[in-house]
Amino acid sequence: MQISKLFEQKSPVLSFEVFPPKKESPIETIYQTLDELHDLSPDFISVTYSAGGSGGNHLTCDIASAIKNKYGILPIAHLTCVSADKEQISAELDRLKENGVENILALRGDINPNVPRKYDFAHASDLTAFIKERGGFSVSGACYPEGHYESENLIEDILHLKKKVDAGAEHLISQLFFDNDLFYSFLERARIAGISVPIEAGIMPVVNKKQIERMVSLCGASLPQKFVKMINRYEHNPEALRDAGIAYAVDQIVDLIANGVDGIHLYTMNNPYIARKICESIGALRQTNV
């Protein structure tokens, strides 16, 4: 099934993101995580694209295939192009197709000064167009409620997003954010620009201070004052900060669902406990909106 078709059947859609295990971790760890996430009945699970996995980038395809064939859940495989040429991307697409994975999240990827960059695909919109031209896949894209860090302003950011959708992106997943008002403002800009595809809100439960510092440094998400107070208040009490982070994420999700969001994409960080606590808190909301 194509991811975009899910949004015609139910609202809100609930999805998870997982990532391949790091080199020092055995592959079995991700399947232990998926065993638990499966019980939470997500509508789909995305798998990040990372050369840092114990099996390299092939692991993304292997995990996505297992999500579909072992767990019976719709998978979406991340695919980045910043360090790949058309031949390499074609090989990745062939591998995904052979494994029955038909949904792709097309991304440019972060520029790494230690990895040679290739220029067959300058932007995610170029990768999206290439995949659509080949056919056989449903393509999703990323969006940025506060604007991509390389965009000069929010208007330019929306114009780039519109180009991505015009190239064939059928569904969008947002970067993490901690202020729902920023997401609602972004959503309004997107709809005014004629972007009508489903847009999922990306939510990351923060469970430790180092995690949020690392994520903010990577994506530039702003931190509301009440969020900063929460982090500072509980930073030396790991259990309390974990529970506070879960509660903050639940509060965001409740508000988003009440405002008719298309879907919630939960960045699980491969932590089933946190995903379970959140799903338990919003279970009735999901049933009401089906």
pLDDT tens-digit readout, 14-46 = 999 999 988 767 888 999 999 999 999 999 999
Which residues are designated catalytic?
A: 17
| Sequence-separated (6 or more) residues with CB below 8 Å from residue 224 | 178, 179
Tell me which residues of the chain have a pLDDT lower than 70.
Answer: 24, 50-57, 287-290
pLDDT at residue 261 in the model: 97
Tell the burial category of 200 from Cβ atoms under 10 Å away from its Cβ (0-12, 13-18, 19+).
buried
Q: What single-letter amino acid sits at 226?
A: K
Can you tell me the distance from the alpha carbon of 106 to that of 124, in angstroms, rounded to the nearest whole number?
6
Class of domain 11-280: alpha beta
pLDDT at residue 111 in the model: 80
What's the pTM? 0.94
Domain ranges of the chain: 11-280
Residue 216, number of CB atoms within 10 A of its CB: 15
Interior/surface letters 19-50, b for 16+ CB within 10 angstroms, e for the rest: bbbeeeeeeeebeebbeebbebebbbbbbbbb
